[in-house]
Chains A and B, each alone.
Chain A
Amino acid sequence: MSRFTIPTPARAQGVIDAQLADLGRRLQSNPTGLCPVDLTRAFIDVCHSQSCGKCTPCRIGLAQLQTLLTQVLDGEATESTLALLEKTARVIAATADCAIGYEGANMLLRALDACRDDFAAHLQGNCTAQFAAPVPCLSHCPAHVDIPGYIALVRAGRYADAVRLIRKDNPFPSACALICEHPCETHCRRRLLDDAVNIRGLKRMAVDCAGDVPVPASAEATGKTVAVIGGGPSGLSAAYYLALMGHAVTVFEKRKQLGGMLRYGIPSYRLPRETLDAEIASILSAGITAKTGVDVGADVTFADLKRDYDAVYISIGAHTDNKLGIEGEGGSGVISAVEMLRGIGDGELPDFSGKNVVIIGGGNVAMDCTRSSMRLGAKTVTCVYRRRKEDMTALPEEVEGAIAEGCEVLELAAPEKIELDENGNAVALWVQPQMISDIKRGRPAPIKADADHVRLPADIIVVAIGQAIESEHFAENGLDTKWGRILADMNTVIKGRDGVFSGGDCVTGPATAIRAIAAGKAAAGRIDTYLGYHHEIAVDVDIPNPLVEPQPPCGRINLPERPAAERRFDFKLMEYPMTLQQAAQESARCLRCDHFGFGAFKGGREISW
């Protein structure tokens, strides 16, 4: 008998391990709207099957939770059942010997706490859950773009039709093809097989190959006028649809050029200016008047616009910076991300050659500044972040891209003070090392590490810790704001203010382009209704039927980028498109949830809005 055997996994164990990985992906792409009680019962089932069986609370207690949950689901439970459920879970959580038991019980306690209404509804024999995402990509796209539709059109080589279909819900197909954060991909049902379809990559295929696609003709002029304050993605989206509906729209933009954060927040290596300019020109071709360099509040007042126009849409974005509040922040060489990117947006590129640049922050804007700094010739570029790299809110590929380009990411470092020379110029950033610790509000929070301050030499310090909203003028005119945000509902309606609507970053705080676009779309619909119309936005594009074909598991095509050593020196687009061969394979991976599953019944396609 040997004293120790090298463990070799049995085939069965290998399969189970693979199944667990599959299950993990399956759960990550869970459809929304499912019954929380039924899901909790299923989770407790899994927990129970994981029990070793040694201890009472886990071995028997979890089984009793299953039984009680089944009674709830069967409509056979009463308030006392819920009380017993809670008591049992409480005891399991307190007495199970290991995490298999107590964490299982904690899942139930959290569900009971957060979904009390759903549990209560079952006592009356009702389940309020409704399958909410028949077509996961479409449902998770804030603008509800018909994704399976345009993927099928790309597959069929009907690129112009694909663009027309996208424009029904989103007038920024080219910009989104390059910079959208693609929430559509998070719940892609293809993840149940292998991985999400590269939706953004296929959209790029459509816009790259479509050529010039004219916008649809506008409806008959209504004689109604709408002022849009702010010419970013939200304002221009609203303007586009309102123009198509036949209303006379005027966009007031404070900056020199239109585009908002697409121009003044996103560097051209991600979104080339010529692409953006062409997109804006196509939007304006719907018949929109744009007045740039007009500051509402200084050059013209909100009251003027309210008086002169039938409706007003406020979409001023979030264009001012947040301050760190540390010593030396006022020094020369300390700039905000907004300031830096705004200059770049107008083509005023600062020269960072030979400079040590430090960026503070962990979001996508911090990454834009980091990577732009490298392109501006900096000697060293360091991104400093309080938490760990994996806690950054920036997309992982942005962080990896920055590192590949030679930028440094210094994690677990909290800015302490900025050291200035006798002339008030920044020379270094002092940071306090951190240690990651307890999870608070769902995120691991850093605490001060028992370590000395570290000095990072820095000639330029870019503060990228979020943006704020310049809403004072509107607050002075009686609009309610909270932390600078204009208070409007999901439909962009401002309570008690007839004819005034607001959406985008100035309502939500800094978010994504597609959410701003969705707000513009919502505003257009709402304003049209307010003006007494019901114009339908639709497109006459027939969607190819899905083909009957095998769907073997297949890897996802990712978009390659230009070599880091090359792209780090210029602001030209860094991402390559798919090849025709790749697009053919990738588009065929779409499982066509518009046709298969619940989509065949309800919610498969929104023909118009």
Chain B
Amino acid sequence: MSRPEARSAIVSPDRARGVDASLTSALYATMRRDLILLLRRPGAVLNPLAFFALVITLFPIGISPDPELLAIIAPGLLWVAALLAALLSLDGLFREDAEDGALEQLLLAPHPLPALALAKVAVHWLTTGLPLALMAPVLGVMLSLPLGSYGVLALSLALGSATLSVIGAIGAALTVGVSRGGVLLSLLVLPLYVPVLIFGAGAVQAAIAGSGVAAHLALLGALLAAALVFAPWAIAASLRISLNG
């Protein structure tokens, strides 16, 4: 235990040693805490996956089991279902933190809020987007997705869902103070999801048609890069606005 005099000394973060090290450990602790919370309550992780599987299972029953027809619509179906599954899980991204007071403590941490918010988004992608991308090829089999496009499907979803998480977090931050803000959140972010959907489904279609997929994947990567540059500041600003109200 330090001496009382030291406990009340004014510190200046610029002069304090290891500013970067303390930010890294704050980011690590935030990610670790969110991962533990999700492990203790796996429902939040399993719900989007179950939704994804259910929707894809029902389509062949509802439309037609004809493999040729299904192969045509499979890329779009898989992408739309994955996008909606990711959207479903976004509502809870900041809500629990806002209710138990952890969010205001996050805002009062002496670290850049965009970085801390991005750590939370990274956990969301790790527990939603990545599992969805890994699961998609399995569901592709059910829709008779042609061989050779499974890798592109998983890769496009992994890249695209990261963009979805980052952009969706802006909407989740804006609606955190609104009770039952799920519909509002969907209306806010769905227009921004359209480009990701177009290039994501386009990549899989291109893989099936045998044309080059590099352009589509490059565009998905560019969307992710742009989102990573701008969205963290928007998320931070949205959180400040929400808690100000």
> Do A and B interact?
no
Which residue numbers of B lie inside 8 Å of A, CB to CB? Answer: none
